[in-house]
Amino acid sequence: MPAPGRSHGRSDKRQRIIEAAVEVFAEKGFFGARVSEIAEAAGVADGTIYLYFKSKDDILISVFEEKMTWIVRRLQEILSPIEGAEAKLRRYVVEHLQLVLEQPKLIQVLTVELRQSARFVKQHSPKGFAKYLAVIGHILDEGQRTGVFLTSLDTGLFRRVIFGAIDEISLEWVLGGPPADPHAAAHQVADFILRGLCVRGHPADVPQIDNRET
């Protein structure tokens, strides 16, 4: 029988490796990073890494899935009490870009390093990304169901359109730095998206939600 606390200890050590990988991948790049550097940053022996992960690719996949799960959970908790598809979509945009400011190294890994790993894209089916797109899809479905968003729009297509726009802005902020007023910029992006989604004659300028008060 495992000693008390052993399972918790293993989980904690694995999480330390994940967090260290984010730091090293952001600093060195995925291809430039060495497993030994991740081990050193995590404070574990090199061989310990392979008790939890098969390879450096496996570490990248785990970083993606675990962090995307965390991002999805964060968005769901924030969006759940908000009423109305317009307000939810605006808050989604603001919160995603707020995350870029809070976790620039993580977003760098998710937006830059994963793009450069062709093997990841070809061989791994990212479940976390599907759940992330589902968050946007649920907002679009609600907006169409309540008569706020155009029913002619293909939600499967436009959830990717919206993500693509936010992802591109995130990439720019990570590589070039955020604008002088990122909060205002986030609301400008939300305004633009909402004007394209809302039915004609429906006000797209819903009251802005200041995420700094939450």
Supply 64's token pair. 């993606």
Under the banding of pLDDT at 50, 70 and 90, the label for residue 95 is: very high
Q: For 62-201, which CATH class? A: mainly alpha
Q: What is the pLDDT of residue 51?
A: 93
Summary count for the chain: helices (H), strands (E)? 10, 0
8 Å CB contact between 133 and 167: no
Domain with CATH 1.10.10.60 in the chain: 1-53
Q: What is the pTM of this model?
A: 0.83
Q: Per-residue pLDDT averaged across 166-172, rounded?
A: 93
Domain with CATH 1.10.357.10 in the chain: 62-201
Q: How far apart are CA 212 and CA 46, in angstroms?
A: 41
8 Å CB contact between 22 and 105: yes
Residue whose pair of structure tokens reads 């004007």 in the numeric block: 195
Q: Does domain 1-53 have CATH number 1.10.10.10?
A: no
Under the banding of pLDDT at 50, 70 and 90, the label for residue 212 is: very low
pLDDT tens track for 131-168: 999 999 999 999 999 999 999 999 999 999 999 999 99
**DSSP letter, residue 198:** B
Residue whose pair of structure tokens reads 């574990």 in the numeric block: 44
SS3 at position 180:
coil
Q: How far apart are CA 33 and CA 140, in angstroms?
A: 39
